Chains A and B, each alone.
Chain A
Amino acid sequence: QSALTQPRSVSGSPGQSVTISCTGTTNDVGVYNFVSWYQHHPGKAPKLIIYDVTERPSGVPDRFSGSKSGSTASLTISGLQADDEADYYCCSYAGSYTVVVFGGGTKLTVL
């Protein structure tokens, strides 16, 4: 069982928006602003799409956005495209003992 809880799957039609939640605790997401999100197309290297809760690396479209409220972080993808169909994982710093935790992953299906 992963430390961070994500929905197993979400879906949306092209052009729509979807939000993926990532629920942690007051030991990780709730206390640190070090949440990152990754997009993984099977067979390829995972790709960083959000870091430090809301920041986008260079080259990542502004259709991808991140936020956080309490111990739950969220990734919103607007203007869904076929290529967005992938697995998405959240990650958080969790202090000097546990250090890093990931979510169980969410499969996004573009209908």
Chain B
Amino acid sequence: QLQLRESGPGLVKPSETLSLTCTVSGDSIGHTSYYWAWIRLPPGKGLEWIATVYHSGSTYYNPSLKSRVTISADTTRSQFSLTLNSVTAADTALYFCARHRFYGSVPSNWFDPWGQGTLVTVSS
């Protein structure tokens, strides 16, 4: 059974860089039919898609975050990662990683399964 688990610091200071890792078990992130994504849920707000990566290295970013975000995949470790630069209090959120059915021979757009999420607070 495919499982995803987020890891990273729970507290980041303003202006610093947030780094998160998602570890995938039960399948290879090199699977040709799937992509891998980060999504966040700020307190009191809705879900926000951050970025998606394919095992080949192709990346897709939310235009509103693109200048500060990098997503990457490491197939040897079955992990994919997120870095977010110059964080502010507005980046405080529950961060989820998820498998993303996206482009391909049968295009679609859905996220399943998701990790439990990791809470990141931006505060000095």
Contact = CB atoms under 8 A, between A and B. Distances in A.
Interface residues of B, number: 25
A34 interface: yes
Interface of B (DSSP majority class): strand
Interface residues of A, number: 27
B109 interface: yes
A52 to B, nearest CB: 6
A111 interface: no
B114 interface: yes
Interface of B: 39, 45-49, 52, 60-63, 96, 98, 101, 107-117
Interface of A: 2, 6, 32, 34, 36, 38, 44-48, 51-52, 57, 89, 91-93, 97-105
15 contacts: A2-B45, A38-B47, A44-B116, A45-B113, A46-B96, A46-B98, A47-B114, A52-B110, A91-B49, A97-B63, A99-B49, A99-B52, A103-B47, A104-B45, A105-B46
